[in-house]
């Protein structure tokens, strides 16, 4: 990567101290503006800059230095909302604070533009993978599974509970990561290696698998109507399956959809069309 032009302008005024309140505000601005200024050229960088603006204004009192900081945070950026956004918002606040102090003191600039962007670029993909797997792939389905019985009873709580709880969870988690990353500074990446965090990730992953199994077993209804008459005795296939491997047909449907996604990607509409067509054919010939 070509080294970015460094700003060596000395600030006229000393940078103000950045507090956890400032970092919380920065994260919340990023959180609620996340997808609004989405562009193909910079992706979510405008949202990150919007979140960081109050912090940068407290750090850089010189217009040129402030412009340079804006440009640093406006480079291509894309990550998951709370895990990636939280950690990187806090970390960038800490690194910008060190950079502003170096410029004000007129000392050697150790917090170079390339170092800051490479740190951000190195984290955004890894944290997005963790965040998507835990939040979108596990936590939201736990809330949905809890609320399904209420929805089946016609209660509005069944629709509102997953939405409200998941939204609140992401806000609180993002604020936590932003504050911790700011406190830890450049060692913030160690937060992801923390034993407690890793245990929580593994626990949630296992819990998510259980919840998906519960959902499939309880709410995916597939049964066979096929029966065979052998030597004057009728054998009902579904009764035999229930005695040997209960729930095998719902599981087969779920695993079939999973196989489709693994081969074709997350093409939900195509999966629904294929599944509907296959079930209609099987029902038409008397298997289901």
166 and 214 together in one domain: yes
User: Which of 219, 238, 265 finishes a domain?
Assistant: 219
More confident position, 206 or 191: 206
User: Which of 180, 196, 219 finishes a domain?
Assistant: 219
134 and 238 together in one domain: no
Dist. CA 222–CA 253, nearest whole Å: 8
14 and 88 together in one domain: yes
2 and 124 together in one domain: yes
pLDDT tens by residue, 57-109: 999 988 899 999 999 999 888 888 999 899 999 999 988 998 898 888 888 88
User: Which of 192, 219, 246 finishes a domain?
Assistant: 219
260 and 135 together in one domain: no
The pLDDT value given to residue 211: 61
188 and 244 together in one domain: no
pLDDT tens by residue, 135-192: 887 888 888 888 888 888 888 888 899 999 999 999 999 999 999 889 887 554 445 4
Percent of the chain with pLDDT over 90: 23
Percent of the chain with pLDDT over 70: 82
27 and 157 together in one domain: yes
50 and 107 together in one domain: yes
148 and 172 together in one domain: yes
Least confident range of 44-58, 110-124, 166-180, 266-280:
266-280
- Evaluate the CA torsion angle 98, 52, 25, 91 in order and state its sign: negative
Burial bucket for residue 194 (CB in 10 Å: 0-12, 13-18, 19+): exposed
H/E stretch holding 127: helix 113-131
201 and 141 together in one domain: yes
Q: Give me the number of domains the chain comprises.
A: 2
User: In which domain, by residue range, is 212 found?
Assistant: 1-219
The pLDDT value given to residue 3: 43
164 and 123 together in one domain: yes
Least confident range of 31-45, 117-131, 198-212:
198-212
The pLDDT value given to residue 60: 92
Q: Which of 112, 15, 17, 32 is nearest to 72 (CA)?
A: 112
pLDDT tens by residue, 244-275: 777 777 778 888 877 887 777 767 677 788 87
171 and 255 together in one domain: no
CB 183 within 8 A of CB 22: no
Confidence class for position 5, pLDDT limits 50, 70, 90: very low
The pLDDT value given to residue 210: 65
The pLDDT value given to residue 207: 59
């Amino acid at each position: 990567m070509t080294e970015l032009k460094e700003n060596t302008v000395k600030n006229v005024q000393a940078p103000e101290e950045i507090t956890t309140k400032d970092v919380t505000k920065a994260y919340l601005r990023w959180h609620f503006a996340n997808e609004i200024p989405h562009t193909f050229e910079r992706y979510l960088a405008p949202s990150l800059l919007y979140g960081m603006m109050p912090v940068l204004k407290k750090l850089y009192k010189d217009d040129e230095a402030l412009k340079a900081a804006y440009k640093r945070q406006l480079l291509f950026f894309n990550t998951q909302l709370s895990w990636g956004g939280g950690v990187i918002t806090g970390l960038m606040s800490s690194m910008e604070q060190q950079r502003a102090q170096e410029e004000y003191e007129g000392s050697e600039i150790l917090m170079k533009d390339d170092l800051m962007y490479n740190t951000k670029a190195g984290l955004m993909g890894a944290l997005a993978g963790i965040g998507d797997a835990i939040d979108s792939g596990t936590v939201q389905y736990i809330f949905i599974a809890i609320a399904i019985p209420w929805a089946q009873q016609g209660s509005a709580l069944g629709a509102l509970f997953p939405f409200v709880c998941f939204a609140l969870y992401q806000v609180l988690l993002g604020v936590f990561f932003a504050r911790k990353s700011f406190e830890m500074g450049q060692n913030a990446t160690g937060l992801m290696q923390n034993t407690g965090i890793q245990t929580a990730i593994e626990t949630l992953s296992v819990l998510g698998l259980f919840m998906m199994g519960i959902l499939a077993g309880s709410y995916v209804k597939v049964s066979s109507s096929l029966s065979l008459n052998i030597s004057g005795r009728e054998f009902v296939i579904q009764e035999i399956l229930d005695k040997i491997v209960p729930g095998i047909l719902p599981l087969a449907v779920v695993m079939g959809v999973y196989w489709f996604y693994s081969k074709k990607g997350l093409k939900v509409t195509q999966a629904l069309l294929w599944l509907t067509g296959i079930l209609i054919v099987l029902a038409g010939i008397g298997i289901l």
